[in-house]
Amino acid sequence: MSARMEFWLYLYFPQLQLDKLLLLQNTTTALSGQGKSHHLDLTAPLAIVGADHQLLQLNSAARQAGLALGMGLASAASLCHQLQLVPHQAEQEQQQLQQLAQLLYQYCGDIALQEDSGLVLKLSPMLALYGGAMQFWQQLQQVLQQAGYQYHFATAQQPLVARLLAQQGWDQFLLQNDQIQQQLKALPLQHAQLPDKLQEQLQRLGLTQLGDVLKIPQAELVRRFGVEMLQYLQQLTGAKPALLQFIQPAEHFEQQLELLYEMERSDQLLGPLQHLFGLLQLYLQQRDQLAYQLDLCLLQRQDQQQQLQLHSAQGEYQSKDWLKISELQLERLKLKKPVIQLKLILRRSGPRYAQYKTLFAGHLEAGKAQLYSALQLLSLLQARLGKNQVTSPCLHNDLLPEQASSYAGALEPQAAIAGTLAAVRPAFLVDPPLALDTEQQHQLQLHYGPERLSSGWWQQHSQHRDYYVGQNTQGQWLWLFRDLQQPEQLYLQGYFS
């Protein structure tokens, strides 16, 4: 291909909304173990219906029942009484196109969205990078196959030509312009996307194919059919550059997903969540980042919602890791109402760093538990028990045992304590200290002490204590003290292990 020649690839997705329903059903069934949904049976005849009451998308069962695209509702109902109808959602399809474009953006830098469920990719800059056209196309095919959407494709030197051929299901990846032009000339006029008025005028002249129109001198066509024909021919021949707006990587991650049906159990949400976490993984991989905090909104009827905060102490990017964290947190969640929509928002992320794992971590024998790092284990415990239930002990710069230590958040930084810790300290503290009666005091034998501990004079209630190590008649070693304000009273502070 000459360096001056410019080629475009058009990807046409004829049934985005229907394919999305099939993908969601597969993931929901696989993870929640539920066979058929409450409302839709995708193995039975199903159609996506437009606002004009015509069939826009059909599953295989509907086609086998004799239904065809463009058929009206009355005719369809007479042929198939069990037909299930789903309203067409153009906004949802545009969102799916945007997701596909972001998916392909890591392989091609020039991608433009089209309103007719298509993507335009500029091939020329990418061929040198991938070492040839077919190598580039094979890479794209692998990505599209994993995405799970049906598509048609075509290449041409003009985006309009590639779109016309792709929408007719040509499915040829060619960089030979002669073959492309030959196929274009054979295109029926009703599929040439001409304005209705122009198409009617051309058919009155007995023209049936686009090649018949191209045989007529351009000046004659413009004279007879006006400026609309001129603009169409300029786009078809490339005389006028196509006005395309190329996408840019999303600055923030926020994705919504409408569910197939109302989900009343939290475990049913795992299938749709797997789809959302897959989109999050793609977003993070493109930016070489890790996610530390996510907000998961469970949208319900009457504008109600429940919100979860998902945390990872180590930071994760893989969808399976976030799915595990969400599964543990959903286990202790009671849904107030059935969920109809999910929203996932990335709140905190950071650069990805090298994570060192055991050499054989990826080759564990069957039946053995998965290896987790300390931070991964902490994240799973917080998801299962609650973030405030996982704490770690920390020291304070105070001599009195009640004030010398406490529990704080598992990852909160701890202040350094100057000096050395005393060796004779019990393993178990009694809080509050237990006052011993006279009989109990007589049964004790003191072995070590006194060791005076005093709180700071600047504190509101300053205390002075003499500590002893003693043993009772049961052989237990005790940590005891006397308060200098009540020297006759002995208190039990702790037990030695």
Count structural domains, the chain. 3
Whether residue 53 sits in one domain with residue 175: yes
User: Which pLDDT does position 357 carry in this prediction?
Assistant: 53
Whether residue 159 sits in one domain with residue 70: yes
**379 compared with 15, residue with greater pLDDT:** 15
User: Which pLDDT does position 253 carry in this prediction?
Assistant: 92
Whether residue 49 sits in one domain with residue 155: yes
pLDDT by residue (tens digit) across 289-337?
999 999 999 999 888 899 999 999 889 999 999 999 999 999 888 898 9
Whether residue 124 sits in one domain with residue 31: yes
Whether residue 169 sits in one domain with residue 39: yes
Whole-prediction pTM: 0.70
CA–CA separation, 315 and 325 (whole Å): 12
Last residue of a domain, one of 129, 164, 185: 185
User: Which pLDDT does position 168 carry in this prediction?
Assistant: 93
Q: What count of residues does the chain have?
A: 497
Whether residue 137 sits in one domain with residue 28: yes
Query: CA dist 265 to 19, 95, 334, 341, Å?
Result: 25, 27, 8, 13
Nearest to 291 by CA among 314, 323, 320: 314
Encode 29-46: b = buried (16+ Cβ within 10 Å), e = exposed. eebbebeebeebebeebb
pLDDT by residue (tens digit) across 110-163?
999 998 899 999 998 888 888 888 899 999 999 999 888 999 999 999 999 999
User: Does 194 map to a domain?
Assistant: no
Last residue of a domain, one of 351, 371, 394: 351
Whether residue 332 sits in one domain with residue 459: no
User: Does 122 map to a domain?
Assistant: yes
Last residue of a domain, one of 185, 214, 242: 185
Beta strand extents in 100-146 (DSSP E only)? 111-114, 118-122
User: Does 216 map to a domain?
Assistant: no
Task: Note whether 279 and 56 are within 8 A (CB).
Answer: no
For 265, the token pair is: 């159990």
Domain that includes residue 303, residue range:
254-351
Q: Name the band, by pLDDT with cuts 50, 70 and 90, for residue 406.
A: confident
Whether residue 178 sits in one domain with residue 284: no
Whether residue 178 sits in one domain with residue 69: yes
- Give Rg (Cα) of the chain: 35
User: Does 243 map to a domain?
Assistant: no
Model confidence at 51: pLDDT above 80: yes
User: Does 104 map to a domain?
Assistant: yes
Q: What DSSP character marks residue 497?
A: -
Whether residue 180 sits in one domain with residue 51: yes
Model confidence at 393: pLDDT above 90: no
Question: Positive or negative CA dihedral for 391, 394, 398, 404?
Answer: positive
User: Does 198 map to a domain?
Assistant: no
Q: Name the band, by pLDDT with cuts 50, 70 and 90, for residue 32.
A: low
Whether residue 453 sits in one domain with residue 342: no
Whether residue 345 sits in one domain with residue 456: no
